[in-house]
Structure 1
Amino acid sequence: MRKVIEKWYHRYFSNEESTYLVFTVVIACCILFFLGEILTPLFVAIILAYLMQGGVEMLKKWSVPHIAAVGVVFTFFIGLLAACLFGLLPLAWSQALKLIDDQLPVWLRKAQDGLSNLATSYPDYFSESQAQALSQNMQAKIGEWGELLLSLSIHSVPNVIGLMIFLVLVPVLVFFLLKDKDKLVGDIVQLLPHKRPIMNQVWSEMNRQMSNYVRGKVLEIFIVGAVTYACFTFVGLKYAALISLMVGLSVLIPFIGAALATIPVFVVAYFQMGWGSDLATVMVIYAILQAIDGNILVPLLFSEAVNLHPVAIVTAVLV
């Protein structure tokens, strides 16, 4: 057993570079585990700067000075952030409040009336006492949900303050990460071995795959959300901004996200339009959007990330 362990150790860790690589991965995991919550603004800023670095490099190829390229990309980032904070999010938030204040009580009352009428509508399956028990249980649950929402609103003040600090810190960190990227990377590289072909190869491959995947996923969120909003607004579905935001973010969780996003789409469409062709139209549109996303958009966006032709990815999805 000892010889097996020694043989395994010499095979994988006799090289100094391999030891550095494993040590770096372990340290990174420990930092994420123990300091992840505290350093969240830094991690978010690193991810955002990583996404925007491609734009900086592209401008530099066009003979734009580094600081000017950083300024252009950062200005675009601030504009996009402002559009989300003062355009999309307030619209989605106002629709969420309107949904809770105006529609949710109506939906709950309809659901409660439906439970109360179960004994009348389906006497063979529900007795009067069972229907009454279900209605009372729903009333109790509604009371619990109301208390939960009240407690969340009371405890949300510190979260709002933390969010404001977060929104100030992250852009500042992003700017300096973009501006001083070469210096910061150089300081980190000095801690590594001078000869590091394995680490360079691992980083080059990981950088290519991650950059393509993350940028593709961001584009997918934007495209799916925008097209969903346009389609649902066209058919007159209420709360289109809120629903499209949820549908766009649902692509972060493959398969499960799309299934979960179906619930609010169906509920809102059902209570607004009832059973009929309008509800069917909304659900067919949603199904078509999901089919296009899974079978056309994803292969086009991620073919470079997985180093496969879009035709191969489409074939794999179909199989």
Structure 2
Amino acid sequence: MFDVLIQWYKKNFSDPNAVTLMLVIVLTALVITLFGQLLIPVFVALVVAFLLEWPVKKVTKLGLNRNLSTTIVIAIFIGVMTMVFVLAIPVIWKQSIGLVKELPDMMVYIKRYIYTLPDLYPSLDPALITNLVNNFDTKLVSVLESSVQAVVSSLTNVVAILVYVILVPMMVFFILKDKVKLLAGFDRIMPVKRRLITQVTTEMNEQIINYIRGKMIELVIVGTATYIAFAIMDLRYAAVLGLLVGLSVLIPYIGAAAVTVPVTIVALFQFGLTPDFYAVMIAYGVIQTLDGNLLVPLLFSEAVDLNPVYIIVAVLFFGGLWGFWGVFFAIPLASLVKAVINAWAGKSEPDALEASDCK
């Protein structure tokens, strides 16, 4: 038994590069777990910096230095975000208030419809329907209370809002402007034996950039297409539903399933079981189908090479550990795990090649 463990240890940890990789992974996980909440502005700044690195490079190629290129890109980014907030937020806020006010009537309508199911399907047990409605009421009250508390706490946390509004753009600017210096400083504190770390980071760098950029593009396209489709069909709260559908792409598979519920409830409450209701659901289904079968392969063909089961497990696991950011980075983290496993499995190959070259 001990011989097997000793052999396993020697196989996996005799290489200093493997030990270094393991230590870096453990320390990084500890820092995120212990100080994750405090470092959220830093994570947001890093995500935005990843998104803006590509336009900064493009502007730099026009002959401008990196400082000026970064300033121009940041100014355009802040201008676009300000325009979006000024134009979109009032509409979304107004529709959200209307949706909250109308939600009790929607729930009454849904419950009445559920109570009619035994008449439509005599095989259903009325007691089962009653229990279903009671459980539905309990869960709904719990969800609404949690949602209201979250909204109130976020609105009252003025300090956190100021941190995001002021500090995040500043951090993004300096991350982009001083990218070379920051990477050089980070390189100096890294261990000498880091071949596996270099292998993993090289494999992950382009994947993470493509993934974050692709997710933002997917969010905008899917959310905008949904809003336009629902607005054309005169569905109420089209802006709110479009925003929810757009945000749902951040949670693979689970997000699309979850956001179907409010879309269905709003459409059913407004139109009933009429052709308009079915038209809304067909349009929504077409958007989801095009997203899954056309848009996602185009955007993520090089960024994601994972089985759907692994993706769902990653969403549940990392979401349970780190909440929203765990969900957002579930696929890159799963890709990181895969890259580490691949590097670990082939860690002896470069050493063998080096030995053969010496001969």
Per the TM superposition, whether the score is higher than 0.5 is yes
Q: Is the 8 A contact 1:118 1:126 kept in 2?
A: no
Alignment partner, residue 316 of structure 1: none
Which of 281, 284, 295 aligns to 1:283? It is 281
Which of 160, 164, 167 aligns to 1:166? It is 164
Alignment partner, residue 292 of structure 1: 290
1:104 and 2:103 aligned: yes
Q: In structure 2, what is the Cα distance between the partners aligned to 1:137 and 1:19?
A: 51
1:266 and 2:264 aligned: yes
Q: Is the 8 A contact 2:70 2:176 kept in 1?
A: yes
C-alpha deviation, 1:134, in angstroms: 9.3
Q: In structure 2, what is the Cα distance between the partners aligned to 1:133 and 1:124?
A: 16
Letter of the aligned partner of 2:162 in structure 1?
Answer: M
Which of 217, 222, 243 aligns to 1:245? It is 243
The normalised TM-score by structure 2 is 0.73
Distance 1:168-1:275 versus aligned 2 partners, 3 A rule: same
Q: Is the 8 A contact 1:250 1:257 kept in 2?
A: yes
Greater displacement, 84-93 / 131-140: 131-140
Residue 253 of structure 1 aligns to a residue whose secondary structure is coil
C-alpha deviation, 1:221, in angstroms: 0.9
Alignment partner, residue 255 of structure 1: 253
Q: In structure 2, what is the Cα distance between the partners aligned to 1:148 and 1:208?
A: 38
Q: In structure 1, what is the Cα distance between the partners aligned to 2:46 and 2:110?
A: 47
> Unpaired segments of 5 or more residues in structure 2?
307-359
C-alpha deviation, 1:188, in angstroms: 0.7
Tell me how large the CA RMSD over aligned residues is: 3.5
> Unpaired segments of 5 or more residues in structure 1?
309-319
C-alpha deviation, 1:56, in angstroms: 1.4
Letter of the aligned partner of 2:285 in structure 1?
Answer: A
Q: Is the 8 A contact 2:226 2:287 kept in 1?
A: yes
The normalised TM-score by structure 1 is 0.81
Distance 1:70-1:6 versus aligned 2 partners, 3 A rule: same
Residue 37 of structure 1 aligns to a residue whose secondary structure is coil
C-alpha deviation, 1:87, in angstroms: 2.6
Q: What is the count of residue pairs matched by the alignment? A: 306
Letter of the aligned partner of 2:59 in structure 1?
Answer: L
Distance 1:122-1:66 versus aligned 2 partners, 3 A rule: closer
Residue 157 of structure 2 aligns to a residue whose secondary structure is helix
Q: In structure 2, what is the Cα distance between the partners aligned to 1:143 and 1:121?
A: 28
Q: In structure 2, what is the Cα distance between the partners aligned to 1:15 and 1:139?
A: 58
Letter of the aligned partner of 2:78 in structure 1?
Answer: I
C-alpha deviation, 1:305, in angstroms: 1.9
If you compute each CA radius of gyration, which structure gives the higher value, 1 or 2?
1
Q: In structure 1, what is the Cα distance between the partners aligned to 2:257 and 2:137?
A: 28
Distance 1:149-1:286 versus aligned 2 partners, 3 A rule: closer
Letter of the aligned partner of 1:169 in structure 2?
Answer: L
Q: In structure 1, what is the Cα distance between the partners aligned to 2:158 and 2:296?
A: 35
Letter of the aligned partner of 1:62 in structure 2?
Answer: L
Distance 1:105-1:56 versus aligned 2 partners, 3 A rule: same
Distance 1:8-1:243 versus aligned 2 partners, 3 A rule: same
Q: Is the 8 A contact 1:20 1:192 kept in 2?
A: no
Alignment partner, residue 313 of structure 1: none
Residue 63 of structure 1 aligns to a residue whose secondary structure is coil
Residue 165 of structure 2 aligns to a residue whose secondary structure is helix
Equivalent residues in 2 for 1:85-96, closer than 5 Å: 85-96=85-96
C-alpha deviation, 1:290, in angstroms: 0.8
Q: In structure 2, what is the Cα distance between the partners aligned to 1:6 and 1:118?
A: 64
**Percent of matched pairs sharing the same residue:** 38
Letter of the aligned partner of 1:47 in structure 2?
Answer: V
